Amino acid sequence: MSGCAARRYLAAALSRCRVRALPLREAPSRGLRALCAGGAGASQLPPRRHLSSRNRAEGKVLEPVGVFEVPKPQGKYETGQLFLHSVFGYRGIVLFPWQARLYDRDVASPVPEKSESAAGHGSKEVKGKTHTYYQVLIDARDCPHISQRSQTEAVTFLANHDDSRALYAIPGLDYVSHEDILPYSSTDQVPIQHELFERFLMYDQTKVPPFVARDTLCAWQEKNHPWLELSDVHRETTENIRVTVIPFYMGMREAQNSHVYWWRYCIRLENLDNEVVQLRERHWRIFSLSGTLETVRGRGVVGREPVLSKEQPAFQYSSHVSLQASSGHMWGTFRFERPDGSHFDVRIPPFSLESNKDEKTPPSGLHW
């Protein structure tokens, strides 16, 4: 199939796919739904062991899923690799990899203390290292089981019409770090239930893994590369609570005779200790290249005050920010509460908001 034919096929096929249009102000708090094919404990299972998954809707306790494979400590997984998410437990399949720069302040080199600047904390020199992430599809059957811990409509695009505050969300599309992949194999020719599975991938028993990319996936990736690309990841741990932030540039829109630049950012909170803690407040500082510094305080995040425990140690969400400048910085803290009522602040690593200046034209929404 030629590239043009692939795009025509995909446009027709995806016109039947439920790509949801959401007002921008609602996106962070809607669509919270996503298993536990093996649950968080799946990471304890040895390679080649058979997996099972829960299926509450049909009243079944266990059902066969596949066979675990040996995880790859090095290298990368190929398109079509089936996996369980080691933290959130859902079943998924790899679409394609991203090579990101990971800025981990936990391994940064200490330098003399400095006063706080527009970049946030000024006390560490952070050097990025290459780290692999994957664009993946989430099995729709698993979405209801992790709705309290991870959004499944976190990948959003600006709309291509005059409403500068509208966006589109693709359900069941996620970014997954290499170490969170627990690979498995299956004899099922359609092992993942997602509306895009058979439009992006096809079964080929001569390949390993036996699912290969269709021309439609390649065309979609190429067309939307600037708005899907994962380039920088920021991480920092405070009192055994690790915060990971991934910013994405979404594009520019004109509003009231001015340019407004939009970003989405995905945040993952992980409790690395056994003590139960609950997020109570957020405190953001947002610096714009135009010279403005905004402070935002509020209860919880996206309308939630998640509890992080040994059984459910992580929570992941996405939100959005806009500036009237082409770049800026964000940083801040999350306030957590312990069982005894005491509080402590967890640092949010500072991260840059950069626009794609190389693009000759701004994005015009979601391209099929």
pLDDT tens readout for residues 300-330: 999 999 999 999 999 999 999 999 999 999 9
Of the chain, the end-to-end C-alpha distance in Å amounts to: 16
Domain that holds residue 64: 1-354
Q: 8-29 burial, b if ≥16 CB within 10 A, otherwise e?
A: ebbeebbeeeebeebebeebbe
- For residue 340, the model assigns a pLDDT of 96
Q: Is the pLDDT of residue 290 over 60?
A: yes
State the pLDDT at residue 14.
42
Query: What CATH number did the domain enclosing 19 receive?
Result: 2.60.40.1470
The CA distance from 126 to 92, in Å, is 32
Residue 367 is assigned to a structural domain of this protein = no
Q: What is the pLDDT of residues 325-353, one digit of tens each?
A: 999 999 999 999 999 999 999 999 999 99
Backbone angles phi, psi at 271, to 5 degrees: -90, 110
The kind and range of the H/E element at 307 are strand 307-308
Residue 42 has a pLDDT of 38
The answer to whether 212 and 197 are in contact (CB under 8 A) is no
Q: Does 51 map to a domain?
A: yes
Provide the domain count of the chain.
1
Decide: 335 and 355 in contact? Cβ < 8 Å. no
Give domain status of residue 364, yes or no.
no
Q: Which residue has the higher pLDDT, 266 or 227?
A: 266
The answer to whether residue 258 is domain-embedded is yes
Higher pLDDT: 194 or 45? It is 194
pTM above 0.85, yes or no: no
Query: Is 359 inside a domain boundary?
Result: no
Beta-bridged to residue 324, according to DSSP, are none
Check whether 224 has a pLDDT greater than 60. yes
59-79 confidence digits (pLDDT tens): 556 778 899 999 999 899 999
Please indicate, yes or no, if residue 366 is contained in any of the structural domains.
Answer: no
User: Does any domain span residue 110?
Assistant: yes
Q: What is the pLDDT of residue 263?
A: 93
**Residue 361 is assigned to a structural domain of this protein:** no
